[in-house]
Amino acid sequence: MAVNWARSGSPWLIHFNTGGCNGCDIEFVAAITPVYDVERFGIKLQGSPRHADILAVTGPVTVQIAHSLKRVYDQMPSPKFVVALGTCAVSGAPFRNCYCVHGGVDSVIPVDAYVPGCPPKPEAMIDGIAKLLQKIRGTKG
Amino acid sequence: MGYASTVKVPFGPQHPALKEPEHFLFEVDGDTVVGVTPRIGYVHRGIEKALELSTYGHGIYLAERICGICTIAHTCCYAQAVEELMGIDVPPRANYIRTIMSELERLHSHSLWVGLVAHEAGFDTLFMYAWRDREVILNLFQELTGGRVLHAINTLGGVRRDISPEMADKVRRALEHFEGRTKEYLRIVRTEPTFLRRTRDVGVLKPADAARLNAVGPTLRASGIKGDVRRDDPYVAYDEMPFNVITSDSCDVFGRTEVRTEEMMESIGIIRHALEHLPEGVFRVRAPRNVPAGECVSRVEAPRGEDMHYARSNGTAKPDRYKVRAPTLANIPALCKMLVGIHVADIPIILAGIDPCFSCMDRMVFVRSGGSTGRAR
């Protein structure tokens, strides 16, 4: 219990684009810049999957990137959590039926929180991550 | 003795300096890059095929999602191509609104880029300030179109929403604030010694190379060549807009920063002029469902350079062939030229220097012929 509480206080986040249009990515970066400032929740964005607790994925998983996504996920130390940001990451729509798209993120790795929207606003992303933190803490929001 | 003289350093697809998945293989001798092999295609979603499988009306939503940063450039280009095939004339008011939207997009894209290049230069304060001030433009977009990033403003036959006089005043007020901030950025990038030392003579692209390798957009203009579709082949209402094509002779990352920041000042001027001279009348005409057989190429100056769409119709409600050539693809040969002979530490800032947008770019897939896996490469 105490470990979970401590863990939810300072999650390190890694961002991975699996073939998105950049719309979600710039909103995600907007969420770490002064107007939205996700760092006030103790969340820190950093570069290596080996240091990360939460994997934030944007974009539909293309056939070419599916392998890399699995590898990034495997490199993260347990316990690890995945947030799918944007409708593409949630289900692959509107690229769902494209020949080069694998589907949503959950077709490759397990997902803990879904944030729909095209693209979701930074507020929605922060809300999604905050809900995930509540889940980690073991309390219902 | 006995050691290989060069080392191969992989870069991506997951890398903190790349916001999108793309892979570059650098051949490094000591601290100097001697060779680079780009491997593109990770973001290939098959959007051209998807466009061919959907009707022209649906296609505009897919064109919007080719790239989330140049969404207006792509929808504008798509709409122009299809409207020419349909043989419909867009009302002048719609053309003016498209111009205003295109320039607002350039403001948001360039200010985003100034932040990113400052971040790659290790100047995070400017990154944070640039992204804070960029929110002014995003708020305008939200009020004008309903969406911060994807706007769905362009449609076949015109635009979806009008700009009311009250809204125009709001835009003017926001631009006044933004103009002050842009002047401040221009002062900072020109005088801040750390930024200058990090960008001057980094990623040099000589004018002859830029022309030979067909660089486009600010990358071309920073090499001193005046190439701008808005001036060379005016579309929407650019033939009635007063603006200068900004160039720089410094041919390096500093030049690219200067060109983009000064272009923001020009964009502010264009929006003010367009708001002042906004023609009266309708802003949308009805577009037919079926399109007569024919083919058409349409060009637009996206924030990153020349964007080109090709459409071929066979008389039905769906295109027979659709092709997108985004600016980043045209800049890749020039990028590979810049990346040779540099220090390893300069790789991220040179990569960021062309303002790469890989989701625009990845239009094709190589299937290994004769291979047993048949995996798309």
Model ipTM value? 0.90
CB contact under 8 A, B20 and A46: no
Q: Whole-number mean pLDDT of chain B?
A: 90
Does the pLDDT at position B376 exceed 50? no
At position B149, the amino acid (one-letter code) is V
- Chain B CA closest to residue A64: B42
Domain made up of A2-137: CATH architecture: 3-Layer(aba) Sandwich (3.40)
Residue A67, SS3? helix
- Best of A16, A17, A85 to disrupt the B interface by mutation (most B CBs within 10 Å)? A17
In this prediction, residue A141 has a pLDDT band, given cuts at 50, 70 and 90, of very low
| pLDDT at B181 (0 to 100) | 94
What is the least distance, in Å, from the CA of B132 to any CA of chain A? 6
- What is the reported pTM? 0.92
Does the pLDDT at position A72 exceed 90? yes
CB contact under 8 A, A94 and B62: yes
In this prediction, residue B210 has a pLDDT band, given cuts at 50, 70 and 90, of very high
Domains of chain A, by residue range, sit at 2-137
| pLDDT at A45 (0 to 100) | 86
Is residue B300 within 8 Å of residue B229, measured between CB atoms?
A: yes
Task: Please report residues of A whose CB lies closer than 8 A to that of B150.
Answer: 23, 118-119
- Both tokens of residue A6? 């401590």
In this prediction, residue A136 has a pLDDT band, given cuts at 50, 70 and 90, of confident
| pLDDT at A116 (0 to 100) | 93
Determine phi and psi for A118, rounding to 5 degrees.
Answer: -135, 85
| pLDDT at B377 (0 to 100) | 40
What pLDDT digit, counting tens, does each position of A121-133 carry?
A: 999 999 998 899 8
Q: How many helices (H) and strands (E) does chain A have?
A: 5, 7
In this prediction, residue B188 has a pLDDT band, given cuts at 50, 70 and 90, of very high
Arithmetic mean of pLDDT, B296-316: 93
Task: Please report residues of B whose CB lies closer than 8 A to that of A19.
Answer: 21, 42-45, 359
Give whole-number Cα distances, A133 to A82, A115, B14, in Å: 11, 14, 25
CA distance B346 to B355: 15
| pLDDT at A2 (0 to 100) | 77
Q: Whole-number mean pLDDT of chain A?
A: 88
CB contact under 8 A, A23 and B69: yes
What pLDDT digit, counting tens, does each position of B152-183 carry?
A: 899 999 999 999 999 999 999 999 999 999 99
A with B: how many residue pairs have Cβ under 8 Å apart? Answer: 124
Is residue B251 within 8 Å of residue B207, measured between CB atoms?
A: yes
- Best of A24, A64, A96 to disrupt the B interface by mutation (most B CBs within 10 Å)? A64
Of A17, A27, A101, which has the smallest distance from its Cβ to B46's Cβ? Answer: A101
CB contact under 8 A, B16 and A95: no
- Chain A CA closest to residue B14: A16
- Go through the domains of chain B in sequence order and give each one's CATH number: 47-361 (1.10.645.10)
A74 touches chain B (CB under 8 A): no
